[in-house]
Amino acid sequence: MFRYIVRRLLQMVLTFFGATFVVYALMFANIDDPFQALVGDRPLTDTQRAALNAQYHLDDGFLTQYWHYVTGLLTGDFGRSLTGRSIGEMLAQAWPVTIRLALLAIVIASVIAVGAGVLAGLRRGGAFDTVTLVLTLIVLAMPIVVLAPLAQLVFGIQLGWFPPTATRDANLYQLLLPALVLGTLVVATELRVTRASVAENLRADYVRTARAKGLAPKRVVGVHVLRNSLIPVITLIGVDIGVLMSGAVVTEGVFNIPGVGFNLLRGIRTEDGPLVVGFVSVLVIVFLVINLIVDLLYAALDPRIRYE
């Protein structure tokens, strides 16, 4: 187990550098004239431009620039955004907001998905199953770029049930609507995986044994079927946390929540290379760590799986 974790951590280091390199290269290729984008319509003198170029190493070659960046990163220095702010500080402010949003979304989505999925799986072909099938299809077909502004317009502005935007120190109620929207990204697949898994496990031989033991249906399902059925679902939920991070870019943009996605979106719009690469680097780490935790959790849930 320990050796497995060490090996995975070493793999993560490689993956991390590979991923940041790609993002860095993409940003490098994409940058046109960041300082002009920064100052907008105002004129920029040649001396100012030269000074800024020197400060941000923009005159150096690509590999030299990447080298500067990585050495900074390893000493915990994420550098400064083109607006002059410390990226490390911006990360520290943005992450708590996004983590709260993503956690709220994942909790809402998994509770709905597992609850409804188990019910649908127990009564396959019934009315409830058919209704959830149609609903999940609708949710799957609705892209978040449509759903987010629509929800904001209907529930936030017209009906006024929820605040249409959220601030940095938003409470749970303010985050509820964005979290619901974000949750739709993953709820449908989680629900359908739960349903399929429950339906499959109900037919398993060990369920027949449990019934032959004279156990009540509640116990057969609640103890024997559920634990087996949830193994693939929990793995999926773990992976979905990553999906939610990327979904947060749109949701935070729409609801004006100053989280990771919001900053990323702004960085991309203003061609702020250091900002984008900094935020993506942390996203990559989060994603890798979550994946490792999911794999370890998988072994904890299913005793047949052992890591060497």
Give residues in contact with other proteins (CB under 8 A).
203-206, 208-216, 219, 223-224, 227-228, 231, 301-304
Return the number of the residue (85 or 213) whose C-beta is nearest other proteins: 213
Smallest gap from residue 302 Cβ to other proteins (A): 6
CB of 194 to other proteins, least distance (A): 16
Of the pair 168, 211, the CB lying nearest other proteins is at 211
Distances from the Cα of 210 to the Cα of 52, 195, 202, 215, 232, angstroms: 72, 20, 11, 6, 22
We find the least distance from the C-beta atom of residue 305 to other proteins, in angstroms, to be 10
160 versus 214: smaller Cβ distance to other proteins: 214
Closer CB to other proteins, residue 141 or residue 300?
A: 300
Q: How far is the CB of 138 from other proteins (least distance, A)?
A: 29
Which lies closer to other proteins via its Cβ, residue 8 or residue 124?
Answer: 124
The CB-of-131 to other proteins minimum distance in angstroms stands at 21
Residue with smaller CB distance to other proteins, 140 or 207: 207
What is the closest distance, in whole angstroms, from the C-beta atom of residue 202 to other proteins in the complex? 9
